[in-house]
Amino acid sequence: MTEAEYGATLDRLVSSRGLSCPWCNSTSTGLIQKDVSRYRGQSFDAWHCFACGIRFASRIGSPDYSAIARRHAWYRLLASTADTVESILSHGREVFWPLMAASFIHSLPWNDDRRYREFLSRVICANDEGRKLSILDAGCARGFVGGIAASLGHEYLGVDVDAESVNYAADQFGRFGARYRVVPQDWYQSESITFDLILCSDVIEHIPDPTGFLAGLLKRLNVGGALILTTPDLDSRRMHVWATDLPPIHYVILNRKALEIRIKALMPDAKTEIFNEDFGPDPVERQALSEIQLQRPIDIDPASPHFAYDAANVGRPRVEPLRRYDPSEFHLTNARTAEALMSERRRSGSSMIAVVTRS
């Protein structure tokens, strides 16, 4: 589907206007699909904002994150990661144990991206320089990065609305000096403590008031402090109406321009860098993710039987099976791998990472 065809199709899908966008407050919005339902007892309306270009959902109840975490594969992966980080840190108080835990996180296929490298590199660098950071992990979930940060002597506070996750995190990493707290949904409106470093990894898309949430995070930055915020990038998935976790998990899907404009409006003097996550060097210079070949064609028309609301139904690039090493066949691949490592070319992902530094 071309860009022109996509725009024309989106225009045809608009059946009503007037619902206020939760990101820019514009009423220039269109209802893409009504009564979208995939989870038992849950349905929502999918909307597009023509002013800022984001997607958002309406008519959503309050999610039970503990129940979601028990069934969602990604949350179970986080729990597994937390268990291993705890095991590594438990070996001793020497500095190489948290460094080894950080290396373990980087080695995982689903974690080898800039969100953790950006955060942990700042934590480790500050420790090397003898600086101790005050850190807020907003939406910490299992809070395993807190165990690493606290083991290095930093003041870490992880907050989350899910009591079960917070209790697990406190049990696993509280003994290393990390602190955790259960907070209400609107905690960001009343908190006043400021921090040197704030991590907010894949949280803002869960918030019904994403603009207020972002404003609350920025207000809690010390001068010279940095916010590392990650969220799915609609620009990489714009041919799909809702190609990320369905509500009640995700409420909004942002794009880079909308995020950049909002940060500039909330903190004009801040230095902001926004980029897509990446997952290690690209050894064979494969095609960009904007040219992903899907396992089957996905039609934007909700009436189509093949229409996908769920990211789980969207194809992913397939990696060829590993074969016995053949020097004549793999020499070029090895050379390209070395070249990619030297030039730091990396495969782009479908989420974006914003690093905001307060002046």
Q: What's the mean per-residue pLDDT of the chain?
A: 78
* Neighbour count for residue 110 (Cβ, 10 Å): 11
Three-state secondary structure readout of the chain:
CCHHHHHHHHHHHCCCCCCCCCCCCCCCEEEEEEEECCCCCCCEEEEEECCCCCEEEECCCCCCHHHHHHHCHHHHHHHHHHHHHHHHHCCCCCCHHHHHHHHHHHHCCCCCCHHHHHHHHHHHHHHHCCCCCEEEEECCCCCHHHHHHHHCCCEEEEEECCHHHHHHHHHHHHHHCCEEEECCCCHHHCCCCCEEEEEEECCHHHCCCHHHHHHHHHHCEEEEEEEEEEEEEHHHCCCCCCCECCCCCCCEEECHHHHHHHHHHHCCCCEEEEEEEEEEECCCCCCCHHHCCCCCCCCCCCCCCCCCCEHHHCCCCCCCCCCCCCHHHHHHHHHHHHHHHHHCCEEEEEEEEEEEECC
pLDDT at 166: 96
Q: Are 54 and 253 within 8 A, CB to CB?
A: yes
Res 358 pLDDT > 90: yes
pLDDT at 342: 53
Tens of pLDDT, residue by residue over 73-93, are 778 888 889 999 999 999 999
Who wins on pLDDT, 143 or 326?
143
pLDDT at 172: 97
Q: Are 34 and 302 within 8 A, CB to CB?
A: no
Who wins on pLDDT, 124 or 326?
124
Query: At the topology level of CATH, where does 65-283+327-357 sit?
Result: Rossmann fold (3.40.50)
Band (215; pLDDT cuts 50, 70, 90): very high
pLDDT at 253: 94
Tens of pLDDT, residue by residue over 281-334, are 544 433 332 333 333 343 444 444 443 433 343 333 333 333 444 444 445 545
Q: Any idea where the domains of the chain sit in the sequence?
A: 3-58, 65-283+327-357
For the segment 93-111, the average pLDDT, to the nearest whole number, is 84
Who wins on pLDDT, 302 or 68?
68
